[in-house]
Structure 1
Amino acid sequence: MTPRVDPGEAGFHAGRLARVDAFVESEVAAGRLPGAVLGVVRGGALVRLDAFGMRDPQAGAPMTTDTLFWLASMTKPVTAAGALLLVESGELVLEEAVGDYLPGFRDRRVADPESLRERPAARQPTVLDLMRHTAGIPEGLLGRTALHARYAEAVGDGMTGLDGPEFVARLAAFPLLADPGTLWHYGFGFDLLGQIVESLTSDTLGAFLARRLFAPLGMTDTRFVGGSGADPGRLAVPLTRDPLAGHPLTGESQQLPDLARARFDSGGAGLVGTAGDYLAFLRMLLAKGAGPTGDADRVLGRKTVELMLADALEPGTDTRLLERPGWNPGHGFGLGVAVRRAAGGGATTPGSAGEVTWPGSSGTFWWADPAEDLGVVFLTHTPSRLQLRYWQQMKSLVLQALK
């Protein structure tokens, strides 16, 4: 990571940016937040990388900037970037059918979600559909239809003891929820994308990303969970009880999944990493693929990154499940990232058109704003609905400090 610059040099009012510290420290003191790490880059320079509170409140271990967090769905943009490396080498074609790479997904059919009556799909799901959540392959826990229940029974939330081929076979056994390209629905597309990467490289997804993405960017602490990958001595620990006063979940226990159960590198939710590492990834996106020293160690091509960060949804795509109240009204979806369409448009936080993000269910959060050349990472383990409030509050706190 580059040396830190003074906030004023990076276009921030230092006093206004200090409001972030006061807010986070008050949340820790009130027992609502165990601890967190905040990282900010602007113009390619490091503005903030600071730890707050406790890494493990029960053990009394303080938070440090090299603390590991389960990145959960923040894995998806990283997997997307890895797949685009193969697009750039001609090994992967976004328009080709998933079944061309994973034979079990040939000849997909669509089922009525309640009657389960099947019909031929209008077209086959493509690699692009996997990357923008329009393949018709849902996460079963995010719906209450009979078809959702079948997916849920087969793979749950995806954190299973299945190996990669077993996971693929489970998903391939069920029909699609909708014709590809017509409905945005969060699902397991990036787990399948990771398996496609493995089939093309004859390597694990983790080994491929380590060689082609993590090493060039200096992301030395980013790895897939499973076995000792989570490094319990460095992993942040959530509070034992949900602290959100007045919420139905109040008082219920909260904990991370058993990360050691993972038997394959989940391209959708399998990474653990640090704030500093993820900032390096954001710097690459904001630099349109350039590496830490610029073009000399470029990771992705400029036009490839522009494609990744652009809204990839076709006109008429049903986005009701994407543009839900809270953090993402007025968003489309690119390749692994939600894309803000306008400064307003029903948005509940300040921001710019073209801003991209995708958080993790563990409480981890980030956004990158190409118009402001700004990247922010806020990592904490708050696996409750309290995290939705923090996503909005942190955005407001950081952006109000811009000159």
Structure 2
Amino acid sequence: MDDGRERAERIAAAVTGAVAAGQVPGAAWWVGVHGEVVSRGAAGGHVPGTDDAVRPDTVFRIASTTKPVVAAAAMALVDEGALALDEPVDALLPELADPRVLADPADPEAGTVPAERPITVRDVLTFRLGTGLDFTAPWPSPTLAALAAAGLPVGPPAPQAAPGPDEWMRRLGTVPLAAQPGSRWLYHVGASVLGVLVSRAAGRPLPAVLAERVLRPAGMGSTGFGVPASARDRLGPHWTPPGPDGAREVYDPADGQWASAPAFPDAGDGLVSTVDDLAAFARVLRSGGCAADGTRVLGEAAVRAMTTEQVGPVDDEGGGWGLGLGVRRTDEPGGRHAGSYGWDGGLGSTWWTDPVTGTTAVLLTNQMWASPEPPPLFAAFRRAAFGQEEATAGGTSS
């Protein structure tokens, strides 16, 4: 196995090479082994062609990498008994009590049937509550079309577009489930529901619960659903991928949708964060629930449950799902081992921890993905961070 210096050089080369090649305007990264930093840095800028540099403390919109962070808040409530994994959600989420289920998820005209059992807290965390994105069906599925018609479109994050939590849940409750509770993994919507569930279980708004249960004790001072004025200089614009002419457009300006608190703090994709904050979160899970200063954030049993694969294959590439985060089911050739856990965000973020090697890798960029598949930079970064001697530097091919 190569030494840490060689790995650090590969990691930096993967990111800086991609930025120099124009793949993304800017990026920051953090890679550590058993908590010891191997490589930490940043490359590029907030605006292409300017000297407004991205730094390691830059605040990024992390999209779906939000999901594991809020799942940890839910598990903190499980630890104290405010939630139980196998209890129905009916009392806290009456909008989802006695749901109807499409008789044929591909044909909304076929009618509905009663749910065979209630939705449980575990169903919400494992994305088997019966509604969400079906990556095996034509886009948009009848369920997604119905959600959009109800004013709940599923697409790139738009924090200021959704109604408040109670109205959001009311609208969701008007749409039949696509599958029986507990039967199928369907992406994303379960995370948004989880945020409302956590808030109601704790009797406080989700941002307050998340700060109290996870962010403050874990030492994640730059993470939240909006960016305060004191940190606004660390948030730049966010970009779309280059079009056929090579030009990018601003998806969200620096003073845009994350510059103020949203009506609906979306547990699916609403957070901003930094590489250091996500490394601190990873440290909590890697250590069995404790922050760097010894503060206990989660119990060991909660961490084991979160990071244990529970639903079977969710893709054709070895992916599985635990409680609110991805868990690999198989070894990745030259990369992450089975049991590695973390998740990615379509606005350009990734965090994974490999418990076999003790490696944690975080990469945040200021450009959204062009598809659900990671761009070449992300494959190159993972090879450099998790691979062995055969990993290559550069970052300009996948």
Question: SS of 1:376's equivalent?
Answer: strand
Q: Contact conserved, 1:110 with 1:120, CA < 8 A, in 2?
A: yes
For 1:186, the equivalent position in structure 2 comes to 187
Identical-pair percentage: 32
TM-fit CA distance, 1:69: 0.4
Q: Which amino acid aligns with 1:301?
A: G
- What is the identity, as a one-letter code, of the residue corresponding to 1:17? A
Q: Tell me, yes or no, if the aligned pair for 1:310 and 1:334 is still in contact at 8 Å.
A: yes
Q: Deviations over 1:96-115 (max 9, x none)?
A: 12222111111011012313
Inter-partner Cα distance in structure 2 for 1:388 and 1:31: 13
Q: Residue 323 in 1 paired to residue 315 in 2? A: yes
Partner of residue 393, structure 2:
none
Are the equivalent residues in 1 in contact too, given 2:46–2:366 (CA < 8 A)? no
CA distance in 2 between partners of 1:161 and 1:140 (Å): 22
What are the Cα deviations for residues 106-143 of structure 1, in whole angstroms up to 9, with x where unaligned? 10110123134100112222111111111112149983
Q: Please tell me whether the aligned partners of residues 237 and 250 of structure 2 are also in contact (alpha carbons under 8 angstroms).
A: no
Other-structure match for 1:165? 166
Corresponding residue for 1:258?
257
Question: Aligned-pair distance for 1:264?
Answer: 2.3
Amino acid aligned to 2:337: S
Match of 1:48? 39
Show the 5 A alignment for 1:209-358. Answer: 209-225=210-226, 228=228, 232-239=232-239, 242-243=241-242, 251=247, 253=249, 255-256=251-252, 258-259=257-258, 260=260, 262-294=262-294, 297-313=295-311, 319=313, 322-324=314-316, 329-343=317-331, 347=332, 350-358=335-343
CA deviation profile, 1:245-288 (whole Å, cap 9, x unmatched): 7xxx9656362483358312211111111110110000111111
Which residue pairs with 1:3 in the alignment? none
- Residue 108 of structure 1 corresponds to 99
Provide runs of 4+ in structure 1 moved above 4 Å.
139-142, 228-232, 249-252
Once the two structures are superposed, residues 315-367 of structure 1 have per-residue CA deviations (whole angstroms, 9 ceiling, x without a partner) of: xx6x4xx305xxxx112210111111121xxx466221100121111011110
**Equivalent of 1:156 in 153, 156, 159:** 153
Corresponding residue for residue 17 of structure 1:
8
Describe the SS at the equivalent of 2:45: strand
Instruction: State the Cα distance separating 1:399 from its structure 2 match.
Output: 2.2
Q: Which residue of 2 aligns with 1:399?
A: 386
Tell me what 2:366 maps to: 381
Aligned residues of 1:139 and 1:187 also touching (Cα < 8 A):
yes
Deviates more, 1:297-306 or 1:84-93: 297-306
After superposition, where does 1:25-174 map in structure 2 within 5 Å?
25-57=16-48, 60-111=51-102, 112-113=104-105, 114-116=107-109, 117-139=111-133, 143-153=139-149, 154-157=151-154, 159=158, 160-174=161-175
Look up the SS of the partner of 2:90 in the other structure.
helix
Cα deviations across residues 287-326 of structure 1 (Å, max 9, x unaligned)? 11122133xx22111121011100122xxx6x4xx305xx
The CA RMSD over aligned residues, in Å, is 2.6
CA contact (8 A) 1:309 1:334 kept: yes
Distance in 1 of aligned mates of 2:53 and 2:112: 54
**Cα gap change, 1:16 to 1:106, in 2 (>3 Å):** closer
Contact 1:140 1:150 in 2 (8 A): no
Unaligned 5+ residue runs, structure 1? 1-7
Query: How far apart, in 2, do the equivalents of 1:20 and 1:182 lie?
Result: 40
Contact 2:30 2:39 in 1 (8 A): yes
Conserved 8 A contact 1:349-1:392: no
Paired AA for residue 156 in structure 1 = P
